[in-house]
Amino acid sequence: MRVNVVSSSSLDFPLCRKITRMALQFTTDYVEDSLALFRYYKKLGEEAIAQVSDEQLLATLDPEMNSIAQIVKHIAGNMRSRWTNFLTGDGEKPDRNRDSEFDEPPATRESLIKMWEAGCLFEALEPLNSADVERKVTIRGEAHSVMQAVNRQIVHYAYHIGQIVFLAKHLQHARWKSLSIPRNQSAKFNQRVAAGEASQR
């Protein structure tokens, strides 16, 4: 499932233009809220990637750090492994080579976009219902409830999306457009949330 986008002249990432922000939906449905969180972090990553140049996608700050392109390759490899046959196969697929995910990053923005969009996360999660949350799956042979496995992935992706945002903000310097509450505008943002014009997600 794709996240609907609207065009923005300030961003030039073809599949990752500014996404319409919807108000937070109250729910007690675990699967529904997990999907909303995954979409939120996907959007955050896309809006950060859209702000950097093609060269900056491959930039590293030091030899021990990964570039944005390397992080995207790792997320894509993780997603393919974790979400393919999510309920019936181990989350660490035998053909996955995790170490290679940090080598030879996608060389172009187009190949990075294709890799970013190739994950089957939404296809795996959208059919689930509340009863499925208690089912057992394995990751590297370790038993997880579906809830534990999903929580594990939410945290993992949030961690790496944070890295992407950090790198993009550092590389863009003064050109960076805030993806959260701009500095010194908290009161204004709170007013917009109260008026239904903005949302925390």
In a domain, 18, yes or no: no
CATH of the domain at 57: 1.20.120.450
The answer to whether 54 touches 67, Cβ cutoff 8 Å, is: no
Question: Would 199 be classed as within a structural domain?
Answer: no
pLDDT beyond 80 at 17: no
pTM, two decimals, is 0.85
Q: What is the mean pLDDT of the chain?
A: 88
Asked, for residue 1, whether it belongs to a domain, the answer is no
Q: How confident is the model at residue 3 (pLDDT cuts 50, 70, 90)?
A: very low
CB-based burial, 169-193: b 16+ in 10 Å, e otherwise: bebeeeeebebebeeeeeeeeeeee
Considering the domain boundaries, does residue 17 fall inside one? no
The tens digit of pLDDT for each residue in 54-73 reads 999 999 999 999 999 999 99
CB 49 within 8 A of CB 13: yes
What local confidence, expressed as pLDDT, does residue 97 receive? Answer: 97
Q: Is residue 6 part of a domain?
A: no
Confidence of residue 4 (pLDDT cuts 50, 70, 90): very low
Beta bridge partners of 145: 136
Alpha carbon 112 to its chain centroid, in Å, reads 13
Cα 83 versus chain centre, distance: 14
Integer angstrom CA distances of residue 157 from 9, 45, 71, 197, 199: 28, 10, 10, 27, 21
Measured between alpha carbons, how far is 71 from 156 in angstroms, rounded to an integer? 12
Q: Which domain holds residue 155?
A: 30-194
**176 — alpha (psi -120 to 50), left (phi > 0) or beta?**
beta
In a domain, 50, yes or no: yes
Instruction: Please state the domain count of the chain.
Output: 1
Task: Give every CB contact of residue 186 below 8 A, 6+ residues apart in sequence.
Answer: none
Looking at residue 181, its pLDDT comes to 87
**Cα–Cα distance, 195 to 201 (Å, whole number):** 15
Integer angstrom CA distances of residue 99 from 102, 108, 113, 167: 6, 21, 21, 21
Rg (CA), the chain: 18
What's the average model confidence in pLDDT over 37-45? 96
Residue 39 lies in a domain: yes
**The pLDDT of residue 11 is above 90:** no
Instruction: State yes or no: pLDDT of 145 exceeds 70.
Output: yes
35 located within any domain: yes
